[in-house]
Every structure is written in structure tokens, then in C-alpha cells.
Amino acid sequence: MSSLQIDTLAYSSRLRQLPPEHKLLFAIALLLITYAADAPVQLLVAVWLSIWTVVYAGIPTSVYFRLLSITTAFWLTSLPALMVNEIDLSVLPSVQTDVFQGFTWENYYIYLSHRGIQQAGELGARAIASTSCIYFVILTVPFTEILNVLRRIGCPELLVELMMLMYRFIFVLLQTANQIWTAQQSRGGYRTRKLWLKSLGLLIGQLLRRTLENYRQVSLTLTSRGFTGNFRVCHSRQYRSSRRYSFEALLGCAILLILTGWNYAIRI
């Protein structure tokens, strides 16, 4: 899943005509709820946002779950560290209540901890919920629109311009790297470990050289197009807010907030 594909999906998503501010606000609100809420509410957030992304925005299920599996994989790799404990046999009685399953190994006792399992569950729910917020944004709001929003809410001009140029040229850089990589491979540049390192060094060196060359060319073209030290562009895109989506978003957020509040109330 390359960044180019994600970018293409964002441009063709069915929620494209909604104002980007609405989508960003929605995702930020849900992210905040995720931080405040418990695991069940977090799972609700994840499921609800998955419906938005897959059903409403029309992002292919396979792509969406492949992206989610990245998070899941990270979560899975952290499971042993969270759930498995290892203690000296002598202190076993003090943790007896925490043991779920365990066995003795020489002088040690190795066990799965109740608290650890609970923690892992909470962590998993939180991770899935917050990544689904991020994915909702990157899969339905094209990066250029995020930049426009940043500009409108008064983010420093310099930062926005830098991000805009980075976004434009990151693809040129990736393409160049890819071309060099292919050329090297077709000439057997990565056959052995030693060659591999040498070729990679060459690739990085070449990338730097070409970047500098590119920089010279781009500054020439910018000057030729009348660059005045301030990067301004216009666009004519018209957004239409949808009553149906706004209603669902507001109602859903309200329900989630009530659920979270209720949880807190019960605990007190």
C-alpha cells in the first residue's frame, strides 16, 4: 500500500464533496472521545468509523483492513511484553491473585497476568479506535485540502508552503529512487550482501546529487513563473455539506459522550 494509492483513494472517495473542515472536526472529536472513554466505547468508535470509511466513503474493504492490520500487527508484537511476567519462586504468593495461567521453570515462575491481559485489551481497543480516526482522515480528505484548511485557520504560511512543496516533490523523489533501484537491480547490483550495501550507498549518493540538481531547476522555473517569495495558489472547489451526514455525526458523538459520562458516573 503505497502513499500514492492512499492519495488516489482520498481523491476518489465518496465523501469528497463534504467540507474538509467537517470531516477533520468529526475525526478530532472522535479522537478526543477515544482518549476519554473505556474500551467498549472505543470499540464502538472503531466500528462506527469503519462504517463511515468503508460504506459511506466507499474505500475498498480489502484496502481498509490491510491498513488496520498494520496497527494490529504492532499491537500483537507488544502483547508478550504486556501479558507475560516472570518472577522468583519465593515471591509467588504475593502475586497469586494476578496469575491467570503459569508454570515453574527452574527457580522462576512464568505466568500470564490478569492485569496484563486487561491492559493489553485496553491498549488494543484504544489503538484500533485512534487509528481508525486517522485512517478516516487520510482516506477521505486529500492532503491538499488539509493544507487549505491549515491555511484558513491561520497556520504559519511558511509551514504550509513547506508541506505543500514536500507533498509535491516527495513523489518525484520516490520515483527517482525507484528508477535508480530498478536500474541497479537489472544490472545485478543487489546480488550479494556486500554488493547490496555498495549499491545502496550509490543510490543514496545519486539521490542527493539529483535532489540538488532538481533544486536548481525548480528554483529557475519558480523564478520564471514570477515567484515573489510568497507561494499563493487558488482553487475553485465548492463543497456541499450534507444534512444527513452531519446529523448522524452529531447524534453519534452525543451518544458516545453520554455513554462515556455514564461510565464515569458509575465508577464514582
Cα(130)–Cα(56) distance, rounded to whole angstroms?
Answer: 19
Q: Cβ closer to other proteins: 69 or 217? A: 217
Closest residue by Cα to residue 202 from 178, 217, 220, 184: 184
Give the closest residue to 254 by CA, choosing from 56, 47, 29, 39.
29
Q: Are 68 and 61 in contact (CB under 8 A)?
A: no
Q: CB count, 10 Å around CB of 136?
A: 27
- What are the angstrom distances between the C-alpha of 244 and each of 33, 44, 249? 22, 20, 9
**Binding region for other proteins (CB under 8 A) out of 124-132, 163-171, 177-185, 199-207:** 163-171
Q: 260 CB contacts (<8 Å, ≥6 apart)?
A: 33, 36, 37, 38, 41
Element (H, E) at 77: helix 61-83
Query: Which residues in the 102-141 window bind other proteins by CB under 8 A?
Result: none
Verify binding: residue 226, other proteins, rule CB under 8 A: yes
172 binds other proteins (CB under 8 A): yes
How far the first Cα of the chain sits from its last, in Å, is 45
Cβ neighbour number for residue 9 with a 10 Å cutoff: 21
Q: Which amino acid is at 98?
A: D
Residue 240 binds other proteins, judged by CB under 8 A: no
Give 63 or 200: the residue with its C-beta nearer to other proteins: 63
- Residue 161's CB is within 10 A of a number of other CB atoms, namely 15
Residue 8 binds other proteins, judged by CB under 8 A: yes
**Closest CB 25 distance from other proteins, rounded Å:** 22
Rounded to a whole number of angstroms, the minimum distance from the CB of residue 224 to other proteins is 5
Between residues 185 and 223, which has the closer beta carbon with respect to other proteins?
223
Nearer to other proteins, 120 or 164 (CB): 164
**Part in contact with other proteins (CB under 8 A); list of ranges 36-44, 103-111, 128-136, 221-229:** 221-229
> Closest approach of Cβ 203 to other proteins, in Å?
19
CB under 8 A: which stretch of 79-87, 104-112, 160-168, 186-194 binds other proteins?
Answer: 160-168
Number of residues that bind other proteins (CB under 8 A): 33
Nearest approach, Cβ of residue 48 and other proteins (Å): 29
Which range of residues in 94-102, 167-175, 179-187, 248-256 is near other proteins by CB under 8 A? 167-175
Phi, psi of 105 (to 5 degrees): -135, 105
Q: Which distant-in-sequence residues (6+ apart) come within 8 Å of 142 by Cβ?
A: 7, 10, 11, 16
Q: Does 217 bind other proteins (CB under 8 A)?
A: yes
Of positions 1, 55, 222, 254, contacts other proteins by CB under 8 A: 222
- The amino acid at 208: L
Nearer to other proteins, 183 or 222 (CB): 222
- CA-to-CA distance for 3 and 54, rounded, in angstroms? 18
Which chain residues interact with other proteins by CB under 8 A? 4, 7-8, 11, 142-144, 147, 164-165, 167-168, 171-172, 214, 217-218, 220-228, 231-237
